[in-house]
Amino acid sequence: MAKYVDGFVIPVPKRNLRAYRRVAKAAGKIWMEYGALEYLECTGDDLKAMGVASFPRAARAKKGETVLFSWIVYKSKTQRNRVNAKIMKDQRIISMMNSTGMPFDAKRMVYGGFKVLVEY
């Protein structure tokens, strides 16, 4: 089965990781409720890459920030579009997005939708 993945790279101040985790846990439950197959939020651990561009550099992370690498898996792009249409109307998500206390700068988030090339 061909799957579809939304991917995110997000620089987050280390002091905001606890708040980010609360938001991510709440959002993940909502995405799963609407049909996502997987929802993962991963915080940087081994980010000092030698000889290649690092995630912190690609995300323009500042001093005191770490990088989160996150993705949501769907059955297909069509299903992703249906899920996200519902997500964007969900009052719980709208409340999170409108909150003044977002634990990261959404303008610096990197996002893309991806067709799965290889899957085991």
Lowest-confidence pick of 24-28, 41-45, 103-107: 103-107
Which residues touch 64 (CB under 8 Å, ≥6 apart)? 13, 14, 15
Q: What is the pTM of this model?
A: 0.90
The total number of structural domains that make up the chain: 1
* 95 belongs to a structural domain: yes
Q: Compute φ and ψ for 43, nearest 5 degrees.
A: -95, 145
We report the CATH number of the domain holding residue 8 as: 3.30.70.100
Hey, is 98 helix, strand or coil? helix
**What does the pLDDT look like over 47-78, one tens digit per residue?**
987 899 889 988 899 999 999 999 999 999 99
**What does the pLDDT look like over 5-25, one tens digit per residue?**
999 999 999 999 999 999 999
How far the first Cα of the chain sits from its last, in Å, is: 11
* 39 belongs to a structural domain: yes
Q: Which domain holds residue 84?
A: 4-115
* 120 belongs to a structural domain: no
Q: What does the block give as tokens for 86?
A: 């519902």
pLDDT of residue 1: 65
